[in-house]
Amino acid sequence: MKYSVNPCGICKKIYKEPEFKVDAVNSCVANTSAAFLGYPSNEIIQGKNYDNWQQCISDTIDERININQNDYKVSINPVFGQSAHYFPKIFNKTNDVQKSYEICNKYCAKERLKNECSQNCYIDANSLLPIKENFNDIKTTQNDKPKKPDNKKIKSQNISLLKVMKEHPIIFWLSFLVYMVLFLFILYTFIKSLFTNFN
């Protein structure tokens, strides 16, 4: 079976917590793509890999950041290769995802950064998407492709007070009270200065 490499789905799944935003997904996609290309540099990510990266980052910005994409410029994160990516080389020899994943984890057991190495095995293995070679072989399964989230475009890029009030009521009301106290203090000082005799 033939596979294509697109780490976007698994990277967004691994780094789904809100605090990760776009940067962690960017690094994950860049590191994984570079590992399959066999060279620890983001400069080698071109063509289809670059298109996959660009689409992934564009979707991630839409999903996670309430900002106009023109105002949020992102480039491919640098690839340092601190933890090993054994899976792509093993897979090139075996052409078996499960077997390659198991061997990869055995190699990682000897690594200094075991957890990061094992996570790389997992991400690399789940970055492979089967290519359907003819129509007779098509069988739709949930594991074939990561599901693309329902992406409702945000009509207004401005953060509304109502949205903030609903999502973060404590922060909203505390901020509101602080501003009201400051406003009342300024108003009181202004009125007092109007009626104060400076003779």
Reading the block at residue 156, the tokens are 């207004």
Q: How far apart are the C-alpha atoms of 199 and 189, rounded to whole Å?
A: 18
Given a cut of 60, whether residue 166 has pLDDT beyond it is yes
User: In which band, very low, low, confident or very high, does the pLDDT at 160 lie, cut at 50, 70 and 90?
Assistant: low
Contacts of residue 186, defined as CB under 8 A and 6 or more positions apart, other chains included, come to none
DSSP 10: H
Q: What is the pLDDT of residues 44-69, one digit of tens each?
A: 566 677 788 778 878 887 777 766 65
pLDDT of residue 153: 40
What's the rounded mean pLDDT across residues 34-49? 68
What's the rounded mean pLDDT across residues 117-121? 89
Q: Which of 22-26, 87-91, 94-98 has the lowest mean pLDDT?
A: 22-26
Q: What SS3 state is found at 129?
A: strand
Cα–Cα nearest to 91, from 6, 14, 31, 1: 1
User: In which band, very low, low, confident or very high, does the pLDDT at 182 lie, cut at 50, 70 and 90?
Assistant: very high
Q: How far apart are the C-alpha atoms of 30 and 81, rounded to whole Å?
A: 11
Put simply, whether the predicted model's pTM sits higher than 0.85 gets the answer no
